[in-house]
Amino acid sequence: MTDAATTVGILYPGYSAEDDYPRAEGLLGDGSRLPLVHTEMREDAHRVDALLDIGGDEVLATGAAQVAAKAGPLDSIVWACTSGSFVFGWDGAAAQVAALQEVAGVPASSTSFAFVDACRRLGVTRVAVGATYPDDVAERFVEFLGTAGISVLSLSARGIITAAEVGTLPADLVLDFAAAADHPDAQAVLLPDTALHTVELLDDLDARVGKPVLTANQVSIWQGLRLAGADRGRPGLGALFAAG
C-alpha cells in the first residue's frame, strides 16, 4: 500500500465540524482520502443516554456499509466521536470497536482510543483536558484516560449540550479555551470533541499553549492513517503528525 492510496472511512455523528475532514485531506497533500458519512443521531445532546444511543452497534454497522458503498474499499475505519465511545467505559468502547471492525472488515478504532494512542506516541502521561461537555460527561473521559494510565491534572468543562453549538465556536475562542485549560505540569492539552473545528488551527494551538494540543478530529485522522499503515511525519497538522 502507498500513502497516496490510503482511504480511511470516517463515521461522524450529526452535523457540526464534519468539514474538518475535507480540509484535512488538503493539508495531508498526498492523495489520502477521508470519505465521511453522517451516522444517525436521533438526539443531539451531550447526555449519557443520548450518547449511548448514537454509538450503538447497529448505528455504526449501518454507517460502515454506507461509507464503503460511497468510497469503495477502505484501508481502515474510525468512529469519529469521543463522547459516543468513552461513555461506554473502556471495555464497552473496546467491544464497540471490535464490532465495527468485524462488520467493516478493516482495522477500526474510535476517537477515544485515538487519544490514548496519540498520548502514547508522544510519551505523554500527564494531561490537561478542555472539554466542551457538561461535567458528568467530561468526568467519564477522565475515567477512560485513567484506565490507560494517563493522569488528568486539570479538567475544564464548558457545559455545552449540543454538538451543533460546539461547531459554531470561532477560532479565537478555541485558542483561548485551549490556553485556559492548560496546567503547568501537563505534558499536553486534550480537546475531546469532534464537533469542535480544529484542523486548520493545529500548529497555532501548539504555539499558543507551548506544548502539544491534541484535538478530536486530529487524533481520529492520525489513528485512521496509522491503522492503514500510512503513519509518517506530516507538516501543518500539529506536534502529533510531526512526530511521524
162-217 residue pLDDT tens = 777 888 899 999 999 999 999 999 999 999 999 999 999 999 999 999 999 999 99
Provide the residue type at 198 as one letter. T
Length of the chain measured in residues? 244
Could you tell me the pLDDT band of residue 3, with boundaries at 50, 70 and 90? Answer: very low
Is the per-residue pLDDT at 1 higher than 50? no
The pLDDT assigned to 173 comes to 94
How far apart CA 222 and CA 2 sit, in angstroms, is: 16
Q: By residue range, what is the domain housing residue 145?
A: 3-242
Could you tell me the pLDDT band of residue 69, with boundaries at 50, 70 and 90? Answer: very high
Quick one: average pLDDT of 221-235? 95
Domain count, the chain: 1
Strands 36-39 and 76-79: what pairing? unpaired
In the chain, % of residues over pLDDT 70: 97
Q: What is the CATH number of the domain that holds 201?
A: 3.40.50.12500
C-alpha angle with apex 166: 161 to 168, nearest 5 degrees?
135
Tell me the whole-structure pTM to 2 decimals.
Answer: 0.95
The pLDDT assigned to 136 comes to 92
Provide the 8-state DSSP code for 71.
H
How far apart CA 76 and CA 104 sit, in angstroms, is: 8
| Residue 41: count of CB within 10 angstroms of its CB | 21
pLDDT digits (tens, 9 = 90+) for 90-110: 999 999 999 999 999 999 999
The pLDDT assigned to 15 comes to 93
| Residue 65: count of CB within 10 angstroms of its CB | 13
The pLDDT assigned to 47 comes to 82
Is the per-residue pLDDT at 2 higher than 60? no
Is the per-residue pLDDT at 5 higher than 80? no
In the chain, % of residues over pLDDT 90: 83
Nearest CA to 108 out of 38, 61, 175 is that of 61
Q: Across the chain, what does the average pLDDT equal?
A: 94
Burial class (CB in 10 A: 0-12, 13-18, 19+), 94: middle
Estimate the crossing angle of helix 135-147 against helix 111-122, to 10 degrees: 50
Could you tell me the pLDDT band of residue 4, with boundaries at 50, 70 and 90? Answer: low
Q: Residue 39 in contact with residue 13, Cβ under 8 Å?
A: yes
